[in-house]
Amino acid sequence: MVEGCSWFSMSILKHAFLLWMVLKNKLKTHDGLKPWDVGGATNLNLVCCSLCKTVQDSHAHIFFRCTYSTTVWSLVRDMAGLRHVPNIEDTTDYLIPISKGKSAKCVIGRLVLAAYVYFVWQERNNRTFTNNTRPPKRLKELIVNTVRMRLASIKFKASSKVLQLLENWKLPKSLLMDGDDPSFVR
């Protein structure tokens, strides 16, 4: 069922793949080095999260507990219609049961979650390897613009909720289609 949250026909493939890697706990984070013998002279306790500089990075920390990433999440969750989901950890619990749904809210929630994971991981790597940094508001802009571009290629069934969604995402009403085609987002 975890795959249902990341892989779907309207996903952005590189975002969906990275989300799948996160949900499977497969990214190369510092906590993953512990099982390996990296040498007695290496103190892995000195390797900290490049986003917040407080604790060792791990999947759980980077995406769910880091002050930087949770700030980014708080900036984008309202756009995803996930205001009622208090934190990022609860987001996957909310999205997985409805992952087969084709409602606009479900599609947007999955797109925003995948984009969030993608851009936070990108920021972590930028800071780790190039020392370039972006503030949380910049990541929010990247996530919103990326999801908006993806939504602009999707046709929606007309309804009052969808009209509100198009307005919130600043998308044209020309994305509305009438008809019973099951490929349209509701």
Half-sphere exposure of 183 (CA within 13 A, CB side): 5
Report pLDDT for 146. Answer: 96
Give the mean pLDDT per block of 10 residues along the chain (186 residues). 54 88 80 58 65 86 89 88 69 67 81 93 91 94 95 86 86 75 53
DSSP state of 25: T
Q: Whole-angstrom Cα distance, residue 39 to residue 138?
A: 38
Domain boundaries of the chain, sorted by first residue: 2-31+47-154
pTM of the full predicted structure? 0.82
- Interhelix angle 88-95/67-76, rounded to 10 degrees, is 50
